[in-house]
Structure 1
């Protein structure tokens, strides 16, 4: 039923694995390598079509300095934090409450409500572009950080609830029953019993949602127009000049924009792995 571990396969399969894995890794990293090299090239290389070769002129300090001093990338990064952090807090907080209700309580509409949360994840978000934009205009939320945060929370809560509900259902319900016998209220059970037990899952979910929202380009360009609220993913396209393509600045800005989720992952790496593997084994 499960794939055979590589250590137990024959010599030809192990040899093919050792050869194919580095090749696949290099192919996967090629776009990232190209962006990294372009971020330290001079404009002359790009004009000459030297996209993949070794840079003839290194401008590592100059390019990154120009990104911070000559472009509004810091404002874009600040806007991304203003969008992403409240979204993570709102989506994860709502998902914890909904997941607790769906995972602990047994009521007739439990599965129906759960399927509604899950079903929303199967709707292609591109088809919602026009109605969401019209709704944001009617509510006065268009071209604002508040509107983008609210819509991100609405779209992320379904997946987060699915994630948290499954983790909470794996907890020993005897702990909940024991807390009730001790006279604890439902809020105390949620806050003092359930939340400490699902802390690794919360860290994993926070990293996932942070990455999803930080890297979002679609809604950033659909719901935001002005630089005052534009996240960094949408703002990178503005780093190109009106008449000249400044791909070295776009590449440098892309590297800078990719750092926050990468750093967050490394900071919460242990909790992230523990959250994803929580409940994978018993005993």
Structure 2
């Protein structure tokens, strides 16, 4: 038996549901409102203790101009784009190939390899800090963009392979057999048959990986030191001064940092929702 819809419940239950819902929405959106309100304020408002009242002076444009003029925020932004886009492309390519191999090609040890992919997703990434840093140092990649790209690609490919394999398993084997009878190579089958069918899943996965990598702070702090290789998240932390912190500039920078993943989500929203819900209802 399924629980009845909320509109069919007694009046006290419906009222309690709405109250809890409104409280949860307010608790979730309050930090966002605080960031926006801080980003549009001038520094004088914050020094005067005016945190939640109406700003005495609106300075959103000035704050945005200041963070790009007084800090290498533009370079941080470019670094984040390079690291994130390169990682997303690498993860999609590697995970697609690995998912097809694990789902459709029987080979000795396939179950063991798949088990390793699953187990890797349950390893707390913090415990990898020392060995990963040691490997990066031994390869001479410390404090470089490539250190972040290689690590994020390796770390996200396990999750992406596990995500895509379930979609590839659902594809009928007759598609592969018919393509092989027509003389198509294995890479042709992947590129012209599997990838178009996986488009919703790949779109949803790209949004997830993009968000994970773009918002990463921990590994940027571990693997990067100089401004030349810092991503945006680490650059924003550098705006905090020793004696005085310009929270209006940090908030404005946070809004700027949030725009790319939000824009990507809305651009791929249709495919993202389809990728997450495909197979949820049996036809």
Is the structural similarity TM-score above 0.5? yes
Residue 274 of structure 1: how far off its partner (Å):
0.8
Measure, in 2, the Cα distance between the counterparts of 1:31 and 1:39. 12
- Relative to 1, partners in 2 of residues 1:168 and 1:135: Cα closer, same or farther, differing over 3 Å? same
Residue 239 of structure 1: how far off its partner (Å):
1.7
Structure 2 residues not aligned, in runs of 5+: none
Structure 1 residues not aligned, in runs of 5+: none
1:45-64 mapped onto 2 (5 Å cutoff): 45-64=45-64
For residues 195-227 of structure 1, give each alpha carbon's deviation from its aligned partner in whole angstroms, at most 9, with x where no partner exists. 110011011101100000000000011100001
Residue 73 of structure 2 is matched in structure 1 by 73
State the superposition RMSD in angstroms: 1.6
Residue 108 of structure 1: how far off its partner (Å):
4.1
Runs of 4+ with deviation above 6 angstroms: none
Residue 245 of structure 1: how far off its partner (Å):
1.1
In the alignment, is the contact (CA less than 8 A) between 1:240 and 1:249 conserved in 2?
no
1:193-232 mapped onto 2 (5 Å cutoff): 193-232=193-232
Residue 37 of structure 1 is matched in structure 2 by 37
Q: TM-score, normalised by structure 1?
A: 0.95
Residue 19 of structure 1: how far off its partner (Å):
2.5
1:1-283 mapped onto 2 (5 Å cutoff): 4-283=4-283
- Relative to 1, partners in 2 of residues 1:113 and 1:270: Cα closer, same or farther, differing over 3 Å? same
Measure, in 1, the Cα distance between the counterparts of 2:215 and 2:162. 21
Q: What number of residue pairs does the alignment pair up? A: 283
User: 153-162 or 166-175, which moves further after superposition?
Assistant: 166-175
Measure, in 1, the Cα distance between the counterparts of 2:88 and 2:197. 19
Measure, in 1, the Cα distance between the counterparts of 2:85 and 2:276. 21
Residue 8 of structure 1: how far off its partner (Å):
4.3
In the alignment, is the contact (CA less than 8 A) between 1:216 and 1:233 conserved in 2?
yes
In the alignment, is the contact (CA less than 8 A) between 1:99 and 1:168 conserved in 2?
yes
